[in-house]
Amino acid sequence: MDTVIDRGAPKARNFEPYASNGGSIVAISGKDFVIVASDTRLSEGYMIYTRKQSKLFQLSDKSVLGCTGCWCDTLSLTNIIQSQLKSYLHDHNTIMQPGSIAQLLSTLLYSRRFFPYYVYNVLAGLNENGEGCLYSYDPVGHCEKVSYTAGGSSGVLMQPFLDSWLGKRTVDSPVSEEEALNLVKDAFTAAGERDIYTGDEVVYNIIKKDGIKSGVVQLRKD
């Protein structure tokens, strides 16, 4: 039998402009708070670049952006947002509200519709009334207001877990800050067990009226 198989003869290496650098994000919003968390492992292939790279970017004292995916795109995107917000602040002498940032981010992402920022975004903030609000994005700028979300390399592992506990919550039984934090920690613990790109540490930001509280939880290091 003639089995001619392409054994992958040496070819010119093609340039691949994207890399998948792993990492996950979980965010839960409540009545007067919003919590957003990311792991701190930055990796590519089977290699860990660093164990302490937070993927949370503070945009103002009321909003934090979580970004994972292609790290070089993440860096660029967050730089652009931050400089835009700075000029907004200087133009209007007020910080931009999360709802406006959400629209700005969507526009920025869509501006690269055919060479996208390969980034999964979650924007967490407190709106004008001090309520937690959360926006979840796809890489080309589709924006959805949600009450909780999980994304990144372990998004598909953590989202069903959140669904099963938060999916049927009504206005009468809102999620408490403590419960939300526990869910976030446990979602990451479970994801760290099964996803090779999630691990090392979790950093979380709890945004409330009186400021942003942050903390670190240890995950598996292997």
Partner 1 sequence: MEMKQHNWIPGNFKSVPDIGRSAQNDSVQHGWTPITTTTSVLGVVFDNGVALAADTLTSYGSMACFQNNPRILTVNKNIIVAASGEYSDFQFIRDAVEEKVRTEISLNDGISMKPKALYTWLSRVLYNRRTKMKPLWSTFLVAGIQNDEPFLGQIDKLGTAFVDEQIACGYGAYLALPLLRKGIEEKREKSNSKLTKEEAVDLLKKCMEVLYYRDARSHDKYQIGVVTKDSVEVLDLALKPTWEVAKLVQGYE
Partner 2 sequence: MALNYSSIDDDGAFSFRNLERNSKLEKMGLKMPSFRKTGTTIVGVTTRDCVILAADTRATSDTIVMEKNCEKIHYIGKYMHCCGAGTAADTMQVTRMVSANVSLQAFKFPDEMVPVVFAARSLRQYLFKYMGYVSAALILGGIDDNGSHLYSIYPHGSIDKLPYISMGSGSMAAISELESRWNENLTEEEGMKLACDAILAGVFNDLGSGSNVDLCIIKRDGTRMLRNYLTPNKKPATSKYIYPAGLTKVLAKSEIKFQITEETVMEVDA
Check if the beta carbon of residue 177 is closer than 8 Å to that of residue 43.
Answer: no
**Smallest distance, partner 2 to C-beta of residue 46, A:** 5
Number of neighbouring beta carbons within 10 Å of residue 80: 15
Stretch in the footprint of partner 2 (CB under 8 A) among 3-11, 59-67, 75-83, 131-139: 3-11
**Smallest distance, partner 1 to C-beta of residue 158, A:** 24
- Closest-CA residue to 191 (of 207, 178, 181, 202): 202
Binds partner 2 (CB under 8 A): choice among 131, 146, 185, 208: 185
Write out the two tokens for 95.
Answer: 């910080």
Query: 214 CB contacts (<8 Å, ≥6 apart)?
Result: 203, 204, 205, 206
Phi, psi for residue 7 in degrees, rounded to 5: -85, 10
Phi, psi for residue 92 in degrees, rounded to 5: -110, -5
The count of residues interacting with partner 2 (CB under 8 A) is: 30
218 contributes a contact to partner 2 by CB under 8 A: yes
Among partner 2, partner 1, none, residue 164 binds (CB under 5-8 Å by kind): partner 2
195 contributes a contact to partner 2 by CB under 8 A: yes
In terms of C-beta density within 10 A (0-12 exposed, 13-18 middle, 19 or more buried), how is residue 126 classed? buried
- Binders of partner 1 among residues 99 to 118 (CB under 8 A) are 115
By the criterion CB under 8 A, which residues form the site for partner 1? 12-15, 17-19, 21, 42, 44, 47, 49-53, 70-72, 75-76, 115
Residues of this chain that interact with partner 2 (CB under 8 A) are: 1-6, 43, 45-48, 153, 164-165, 182, 185-186, 189-190, 193-197, 217-222
